[in-house]
Copies of this chain bind each other. A is one copy, B any other.
Amino acid sequence: MTDPVEEGVGGPDLRLDELKELAEHDDLTAFVKRAHHVHPSDLADVLAALEEHIRARVIAELPVEIASSALAEMEAVEHPEELLLAVGPEYAAELVEELSTDDAADLVAELSAGEREAVLSEVTDRASVDKLLAYPEDSAGGLMTADVVKVREDASVAEAIEAIRSQSEDESQLYQVYAVDVHGHLRGIVPIAKLVISTPTRLVRELMEQPIVQVQPTQDQEQVARLMARYNVAAVPVVDEHGYLLGRITFDDVVDVVEAEMTEDILKFGGMEALDAPYLKVAFSRMVRKRAGWLAALFLGEMLTATAMAFFQDEIAKAVILALFVPLIISSGGNSGSQASTLVIRAMALGEVHLRDWWRVIRREFAAGIVLGGVLGAIGFLRITLWHTITGIYGAHYLLIAFTVFGSLIGVVTFGTMAGSLLPFILRRLGFDPASASAPFVATLVDVTGLIIYFTVASLILRGTLL
């Protein structure tokens, strides 16, 4: 991934640093003046970088339109309840009023019932905000805004245009108008560009199209994101089970979801829980707690290797040389396993591989494991025989040692690829996220078996000589 700021777009970043300094030096008049010329997304970054008490003071000074559009762009406002309390209920109500209903709901969600009442009692569109508060945050309902432009299907184009004029709050985010029947059920969609090129007397009914995608408020937000990406729609209507139009979700809401889910997946891959704030801002103790859990769990699993090694203690005592290759053998199993699990997890996420394909995948990975194990085994064999020719350190039975390593690598790598590819299927079948089959998890799983395979092969090949 590249980073726009570090790759040439340095200018705005500099300006934002200045803005941050103005706030920190309490020069709020200058701050507000400059804030008028800054994009809400950039202003959101500046606000996010400020101390909480400074941020509240700055927001209270900003014109409500500017403050609200910056708040809408802040990924996750930390302690929104404290922010709202700091600016006072009247200004808080103005902010909430100005925000689209989904952002407003996010902002007041953390307030206590009494505080929320104080803020919302002033808000005109309170019913819509209340409705959104009822949906889980990670559902389509939690993502949608109730601010849609709707017209009756028997309206004319001229009436539809009039509806846009009166109902739309931000025309740069308006991509389609919804046609509804007399009860408010969604009947069709009119792309705004189609409206613009039609004669004013035509009826909406004649222009409207069947929605390619429509979602219900209880659907998972990730599923919504995937549908929108698949069908290339900039906005998707949200309807209840009877087809009543509740709101819409636009692609920019979904972009944030995809980014957050991607972060969660990637961190899961690295063997840890997602942090709930940027790396440099999250409290040290919180970060360590999030990491310690997984590390400790992996450590407990890995302890089985000490038990397995104790089991083969006599063999090691007889042939210390066997111990030399332990790290090499088990890491090869771990690496091939994490490669296989990564491949399968990603193919599942892209919909290239489904649960029902498990048998095809396993067969394929079995064959891949044999070949890859053979390659690594051959390299290992060469390394031992060549190294011995030069240094002589592996003793009289160096060829048997080389065969032991060769055979073990085939076994360990094959087991690794099969375990790594099977694990995501098992996790999904059990209802867990297949992405939890992270590299460290797979490696831990494979290590103990790797040791057993190695020492078993060794006792077969070396019996009567070294063992």
Contacts and interface: CB of A to CB of B under 8 A. Distances in A.
B376 A278 contact: no
Interface string A143-170: 0000000000000000001001100100
Copy number in the complex reads: 2
Contacts of A174: 191, 193
Given A258-B258, A309-B324, A328-B302, A267 B334 contact: no
A38 to B, nearest CB: 11
A332 B372 contact: no
A7 B271 contact: no
Interface stretch (A76-84, A236-244, A336-344): A336-344
A419 to B, nearest CB: 14
Contact of A194 (B171, B195, B344, B351): B171
Contact of A284 (B4, B175, B364): B364
A184 to B, nearest CB: 22
Given A212-B39, A295-B332, A380-B299, A353 B280 contact: yes
A329 to B, nearest CB: 9
A15 interface: no
Nearest to A270: B342
Contact of A334 (B7, B193, B222, B440): B440
Given A299-B379, A300-B379, A2 B353 contact: no
Given A327-B302, A379-B296, A1 B267 contact: no
A372 B171 contact: no
A326 B281 CA distance: 36
A249 to B, nearest CB: 13
Contacts of A433: 1
A414 interface: no
Interface stretch (A60-68, A87-95, A118-126, A286-294): A286-294
A339 B306 contact: no
10 contacts: A3-B348, A3-B351, A172-B194, A271-B439, A291-B339, A292-B375, A299-B335, A302-B328, A316-B320, A327-B447
Give the 4 A-B CB pairs with smallest separation, nearest first: A270-B342, A1-B349, A439-B439, A232-B252
Given A168-B197, A326-B327, A335-B444, 20 more contacts: A1-B435, A2-B226, A4-B226, A4-B351, A171-B194, A229-B255, A234-B234, A271-B439, A278-B347, A278-B350, A287-B368, A292-B372, A298-B331, A302-B327, A303-B328, A305-B327, A306-B325, A306-B327, A313-B324, A331-B443
